[in-house]
Amino acid sequence: MSGSDTSSFGITEEDREKMRFLSENGAPGGGADLAAMMESDPDDSKQSPGRTETRERVLTAPEFERLLIGALRIDDDEHALETWSALVILGRLGLRAGELGHFSIEWYDDREQILSIPEHDPCTKGRDGGACGDCRQAARQRISHGDDRDVEEIADEYWMPKTETAVRDIPTGWSARVEEAVLFIGQVHGEWPHAYSTLKRRLQSAIENAPLLDENATTLHGLRGTAASYHAGNGLDKEALKQMMGWRDDKTPNKYLAINGQMAKRALNRVYR
């Protein structure tokens, strides 16, 4: 076999990602789902010894710019612009991969410049026009945790945000580049047109094409942390950061607000000068 997804042994890039995750974090306990653990928020579970914190795969501002260059170097022009737009949305608005994967232009109010994550938006991304594979997997996971309904009945509830606090309004007007990214995806396709696996491959292609970025520079969830770190570093206060990211735990913003003293310095300068 050949290509970016497989080796001569049939090991996919997704397999490698899982192996890297297990090496860094250990196996999930209590029968937890590995994929869910890999994409979980830092506020969804306590840090355990040896577990890598999200910040370790967060990109600095220069690194993020290099990643965007890598996206635009993808050979196919449409793929390049799709990837660039997706990375801007993930790395500056802090959407979860599942939120971007189910994004619809109907979520976006271009007059108010607000992207609203809804409580529920029926998933029609599956081959039969029903729920996609990711939503069906989420339904099966709920059955494994005690829900006694059948998969189809549960799948009818998807797509839905990960938590109640994930239902939120996210301003976009602060950045022309963010506006451009949201409108490109929304106006060209009406939605993010690809599967989660494609989104992961596009990120990896951007990393491989980016100047001076390590092949393990970040992950889809690391881009969410990149957004949090960027806004915290520019002085966004705790409550605003928590609301924008859709976090449940009051402690989670502190991980990003405590990175360095420049945040407080900039905030104080804005207040007193």
Distance CA 121, CA 9 (A): 40
Q: Where does the pLDDT of residue 32 fall: very low under 50, low under 70, confident under 90, or very high at 90 and above?
A: very low
Q: What is the SS3 string spanning 61-119?
A: HHHHHHHHHHHHCCCCHHHHHHHHHHHHHHHHHCCCHHHHHCCEHHHEECCCCEEEECC
Q: Is 114 exposed, middle or buried (0-12, 13-18, 19+ CB in 10 A)?
A: middle
Average per-residue pLDDT for the chain = 82
Distance CA 45, CA 65 (A): 31
Q: Is the backbone peptide bond immediately before 159 cis, with ω within 30 degrees of 0?
A: yes
> Does residue 68 have a pLDDT over 60?
yes
> Does residue 190 have a pLDDT over 70?
yes
Q: Token pair of 131, please?
A: 């729920």
Q: What is the pLDDT of residue 54?
A: 40
Q: What is the pLDDT of residue 47?
A: 34
| Domain at 56-117+167-272, CATH homologous superfamily | Intergrase catalytic core (1.10.443.10)
Which CA distances in Å does 9 have to 1, 192, 201?
Answer: 8, 32, 19
* pTM for the full predicted model: 0.75
Between 85 and 266, residue with greater pLDDT: 85
CB 59 within 8 Å of CB 91: yes
CB 226 within 8 Å of CB 55: no
- pLDDT tens for each residue of 138-154: 889 889 889 899 998 99
Mean pLDDT for the stretch of residues 220-246: 93
Q: What is the pLDDT of residue 46?
A: 34
Domains of the chain by residue range:
56-117+167-272, 122-159
